[in-house]
Each structure stands twice: as C-alpha cells, then as structure tokens.
Amino acid sequence: MGAIRFALPKQGRPISIAGYRTAARRVLPDLVWAYVENGADDSVTLAANRSAFARWSLRQRVLRSSAGRKTAARFGDTELAIPVMIAPTGINGLVHWRGELATACGAAAAGSRIVLSTAASYSVEEVAAASPVGHWLQVYPWRDRELMDWLLERGRRSDCPTLVVTVDTPVFGNREPERLQGMSIPPVLTPRHVLDAALHPRWAYKVLRHQRVFTGNLVGMSGVRAGALAAKVRRERMMAGELDWDDFARVRAQWQGLCYVKGILDADDAERAVSLGADGIIVSNHGGRQLDGAPATLDALPGIADRLAHRATVLIDGGIRRGTDVVKALCLGADGCLIGRPALYGLAVGGESGVEHVLSILREEIDRTLALMGCSDIADLGRDWLIPG
C-alpha cells in the first residue's frame, strides 16, 4: 500500500507531548484509552518512570558557542535524525485505522524508525511495503520453533535490520482498568462499547470500518494455523512463565542480523544477554505495564550502562515525554531512547502526521536543550552534565 499523507491543520495542533495526550484522550473511546494509558496493579512503576527524571538537574554552561548542534544517532545500520525510536506497541489499528502503517510512515518522515510489535495490527510485509526504510521487528521468545521460524523469515524478507526480543512478559501484567473494560485481542465488543463508540463517531467510523483490531502479524498466517495459535496463546501455554535464557539463545541462533533484548532492569541480566549474543539491550519495564514495583527505568540505567561498558548498545524507554528526558537518559549512559505512549497519542490525534509531529517536537526540544546547556553534540553528553537532586 502506498504511503498516504494526511496534513494536520497547524492551527490548534498540540505543541507538546502533554498536549497530544490531552487531545488523544478526547479522540479515543474508554476501551482504547484504558489499553493505551494504564499501568499494572497500582501504577507505582508507571509513575516512577516519570518522577525519576525530576531527580536530576541539567548543568547549564554559558557562552560556549553551541551552533550546528548534532542530534543524529546510529544503531548498527539504522541511521536516525534523533536518538529516539518508537517502541513496539500492539494493535495500533485500534488507535487509528491506518495503525502501524501510519506509525511507521510518520517515524520515517521524522528520520526515525519503529519497532514493529508481534501483536501489530498490520503485518511486517504491509509495513515494509508502506515504509521500506528498514523498521525493526519485535518478538517474544516463544518456544514454538515453527512459529518463530515463520516470523523471523518474514522479518528477514522484509529487510528488518534488527530483531528485538521482549523478555519481560513471562505472563501478562495485571492491568485492571483494561480488564474492567473487557479489553482482549481482538476486543470483545459489548453494548457499553458500542455506546462509547457512538460517542466517538470519527474514531468508530474509520477504525470499525477497517477492522484492523487483530494482530495482523499472526493472522497473516493461514486461517487454521492462526486459530490454533490464538487458542494456544489464550490457554496461556505461551505466556505461562516457563521461558528461560535457553529460549532467548534459541531465538538468537535463528536470527542472523542484529538482536536486542528488551525488558532488562538488572545488570546481571544485561550481562547474560550480551554473553548470549545480544548486540544491544533495552532498559524497559514495559511502560509500567508488567511488574508493578519494578524500578523506574532511569534508576536502573546507570548500573546497567556501567556494567556493559560500551560492549553493547544501551537503549531505554519508559516515561520519556520531553527532550530534556532524552538528554538526561543519554547523560546517564543510554545510547538512545524509545517512546511508546507518546507515539500513540500522535497516532490517535493525527495519524501519520501526528506521529511525525510528536517526534519533531522531541527533536526541537533536544536541540533547544543542548543549546541552553551549552553542549553542541549529543555524543559529548555524560554524567558530568548532570547534577543530582
């Protein structure tokens, strides 16, 4: 499918990620908002992800001529205009009818890339056709060898340069607002949802008409096999807490390209991932959606970066909402960041151009932050640029 671009009217367009969040809340029905926004249990980790950034101040140096500031980053063969990618999030087709096609095109237009979720509404082939720039692919280390071969082969054929293996989901986190809304994949619609959809006619008309509320990456397989797989996942045989490092090693051995492990919060685990062939790790607590009470990712980052000592790329996600957050993460040892919900806010509000705009807001904020700090290159950022407290 060719990339279709939708221009957002400039007037009234949000100017910050917080603004996009407010606008997205208006656009999305309760079921979808519950899916996008909530954390696990009491959302302690979700809140901690945000508050951790406030515990660091940025050093301000003056009159240092920081013209021609550099914000570009490179992870393997992936060259980015800013050190920010879009984290994998499932069923984007529930947020906007063009789902991951719009997320991917918006990211590419801003000089970034997405990590396409296994649970995406659109398949890896559809995304590669809409935006053939080499987006990354995320999988879970499921034991089903046939399924894994099938997914990885499709990633390979779609020119995904990097595989991301998410390891923090041995079982599903307890996201109560989502459960109370009856959220499942695909969502089961009740009369309450129908009423809610009627209150959001623009969303309902497009999303329900296009019916991309399934996991396109999995239903892309033949009907019988897809049904069997869905039943298997539902019976929790594949999310039953039985995965171990051998499962990661098996997936790593099946993939010839670069491979990152996502969902690391502990330096010993980071070390283990790298010893088993990971080229990079993503410090992540799944946006506070899995283990509530797990540390904020920014708090976990320095210990992990120190332990890996540049032997692997270190990315981080969780709570990044400002350019200053990105800069602080880079100072604490990250090579780059990912954003989950902010991209979904942009997607909900403006489709492709909303995603592009969210990333361009971050780019502008990173650039302005560097100028105000008196630093001309993100490569020069380090702990000496931070003041605790």
In this chain, which of 66, 117, 131, 217 binds ligand FNR, going by CB under 6 A?
Answer: 117
Distance from C-alpha of 38 to C-alpha of 46, rounded to nearest angstrom: 8
DSSP assigned state of 188: P
Sign of the dihedral defined by the CA atoms of residues 79, 82, 88, 90, in that order: negative
User: Does residue 87 belong to the site contacting ligand FNR (CB under 6 A)?
Assistant: yes
User: Does residue 262 belong to the site contacting ligand FNR (CB under 6 A)?
Assistant: yes
Provide CB contacts within 8 A for 52, sequence distance 6+. 296, 297, 298, 299, 319
In this chain, which of 19, 76, 90, 374 binds ligand FNR, going by CB under 6 A?
Answer: 90
Tell me the β-bridge partners of 70: 377
**Residue 35 assigned ligand-binding role:** yes
User: Does residue 318 belong to the site contacting ligand FNR (CB under 6 A)?
Assistant: yes
What does the block give as tokens for 161?
């340069």
User: Does residue 99 belong to the site contacting ligand FNR (CB under 6 A)?
Assistant: no
Q: Which of 135, 286, 310, 357 is catalytic?
A: 286
Distance from C-alpha of 235 to C-alpha of 111, rounded to nearest angstrom: 40
Distance from C-alpha of 300 to C-alpha of 308, rounded to nearest angstrom: 13
User: Does residue 43 belong to the site contacting ligand FNR (CB under 6 A)?
Assistant: no
- Compare residues 317 and 356 and give the one whose CB is closer to ligand FNR: 317
Provide CB contacts within 8 A for 326, sequence distance 6+. 82, 83, 84, 320, 337, 362, 365, 366
Calculate ∠ Cα 44-45-50, nearest 5°. Answer: 100
In this chain, which of 111, 280, 319, 354 binds ligand FNR, going by CB under 6 A?
Answer: 319
DSSP assigned state of 187: P
User: Does residue 287 belong to the site contacting ligand FNR (CB under 6 A)?
Assistant: yes
Sign of the dihedral defined by the CA atoms of residues 7, 10, 11, 15, in that order: positive
User: Does residue 135 belong to the site contacting ligand FNR (CB under 6 A)?
Assistant: no
User: Does residue 323 belong to the site contacting ligand FNR (CB under 6 A)?
Assistant: no
- Compare residues 84 and 375 and give the one whose CB is closer to ligand FNR: 84
**Residue 193 assigned ligand-binding role:** no
User: Does residue 36 belong to the site contacting ligand FNR (CB under 6 A)?
Assistant: yes
Of 52-60, 81-89, 148-156, 303-311: span binding ligand FNR (CB under 6 A): 81-89
Length of the chain: 389
286 is catalytic: yes
SS3 354: helix
SS3 213: coil
CB of 133 to ligand FNR, least distance (A): 20
**Residue 232 assigned ligand-binding role:** no
In this chain, which of 20, 35, 56, 385 binds ligand FNR, going by CB under 6 A?
Answer: 35
User: Does residue 88 belong to the site contacting ligand FNR (CB under 6 A)?
Assistant: yes
User: Does residue 328 belong to the site contacting ligand FNR (CB under 6 A)?
Assistant: no
Residues within the interface to ligand FNR (CB under 6 A): 35-36, 49, 87-90, 117, 119, 138, 166, 262, 284, 286-287, 289, 317-320, 339-341
Residues with catalytic roles:
286
